[in-house]
Amino acid sequence: MSHEGLNRSRHWDGDYYNEGMDAASFDKLKEECGVFGVFGHPEAAALSFFGLHALQHRGEESAGICTTDGDEFYYHRDMGLVKEVFDNDRLNSLKGSTAIGHVRYSTSGDSKLQNAQPLVFKYRGGDMAIATNGNLVNAADIRNELEEQGSIFQTTSDTEVVIHLIARSQQENVVEAVKEALGRLVGGFAFLILVNDQLFVAQDPSGLRPLVIGKLGDAYVFASETCAFETIGATYLRDIAPGELLIVDKEGMREDRFAPMQRRAICAMEFIYFSRPDSDLDSINLHSARKRMGQRLAMEAFVDADVVTGVPDSSISAAIGYAEQTGIPYELGLIKNRYTGRTFIQPSQELRERGVKMKLSAVRKVVEGKRVVMIDDSIVRGTTSLRIVNMLREAGAKEVHVRITSPPYMNPCFYGIDTPSRKDLIASSHSVEEIREKIHADSLHFLSKEGLLEAIGRPAGEYNRGMCTGCFDADYPTKVNDEGGSC
């Protein structure tokens, strides 16, 4: 084979074994970002470490924490996982009882240290740090406007525009400046904004991105998901309301708004895929919701089979639900290798070709000679589904029936999920039967939109049950620049 052919056939190229592997070999949707905040606890930095560790699934590229003692800011951020970025010495250097933290997967702005959050700046009012989960649809327009007025940007992250809007505001105090800046934003976002003596917490007017509040003793804590509260022993209070602004300082916490609530539109993919199954979103447990998705999928698309298996990890709950509904045994037919992170080795080309098995393996004794129902949460480009179906067949599966716990993913996301352009989404240009052929499945069925919304279980009185399903039906809750693209 020529060198050109070798390069084309590789699953990934790079300095270490799995560099670029997720992009090329596994076409799952990328995590968004995760935020965590503490106000009024003497161990704010340590709590942030544990909270961010619980949110690691939301972003694995970089991590950072910024603390304040009311006078000075102390911060550290770096590329890598939370446990790689922080050790005891780093955490001990982060002084103060207030902190904000962040884990990042880049969806706008390059994957480099300058874009790692929290972003920290000095301005005429003192120090300011910001951490966010989401995407600002109108960030490019605001950035161009600010640059024309003389602003100099230090990063390529769209989050930085918020700092500039606050710093340039003519409002008489920082609270009004924050409200004015947030009021200009369009998109899906959850913000933690820290100044020397105050913490601001804000949710976009449609509530697209998750953000919750809890208490730990007298301290307030904030996080993208409730699983972070379980980790640190905090008590969940409530979800932050769309368009709400919370101001936390030494006097306590007061509730305000920077915008009226618009069309309620919680991201459906949070329920399907992104959030941890032990988290509750808008008082709905994710494991239970995913089980109901599997049960509904079984009612919509039963197939006679010998075993049901789920693609780890997000589809296991749904696979259990499918199995319970049908009476077909649930088995661990696929196993995820949890230790494929930075393996700095240079394997042979043959091992590169088989690199997909670094992350996922079929259990031969479970699937051999069996008719298998494989449950997964979505099909993006189709390459992952093809590889998993082929893997099950190589392990001896007699039939492989694929069932997806979401409708066909046909449109890009503009609110903080890194998705390919529409032309690269297989469902945008192929029928279900064509996708079935391409992934070598014996049958394929997607959960209907109606079935999905009913399974999630949000109130029926709201438009679209208060969900954003734009990736399935292009019914976006805000104006978008199509084919645009986050924290």
Asked whether 183 and 130 are in contact (CB, 8 A), the reply is: no
In angstroms, the Cα distances linking 278 to 55, 223, 322 are 12, 14, 19
Among 33, 66, 227, 487, the one annotated catalytic? 33
Cβ neighbours of residue 368 closer than 8 Å, sequence gap 6 or more: 395, 396, 397
The tokens for 189 are: 């976002």
| Nearest alpha carbon to residue 194 among 235, 218, 215, 222 | 222
What DSSP assignment string belongs to 223-260?
Answer: ESSTHHHHHHTPEEEEEPPTTEEEEEETTEEEEEESS-
Taking each helix axis as running N to C, give the angle between helix 174-183 and helix 160-168, from 0 to 180 degrees, rounded to the nearest 10. 130
Which residues are bridge partners to 280 per DSSP? 285
| Whole-number Å distance between alpha carbons of 35 and 202 | 12
Strand (E) positions, 429-485? 443-446, 467-468
| Whole-number Å distance between alpha carbons of 206 and 189 | 9
Asked whether 245 and 200 are in contact (CB, 8 A), the reply is: yes
Cβ neighbours of residue 249 closer than 8 Å, sequence gap 6 or more: 197, 198, 199
Active site residue 33: yes
The tokens for 350 are: 């043959």
Cβ neighbours of residue 175 closer than 8 Å, sequence gap 6 or more: 198, 200, 247, 256
The catalytic site residues sit at 33
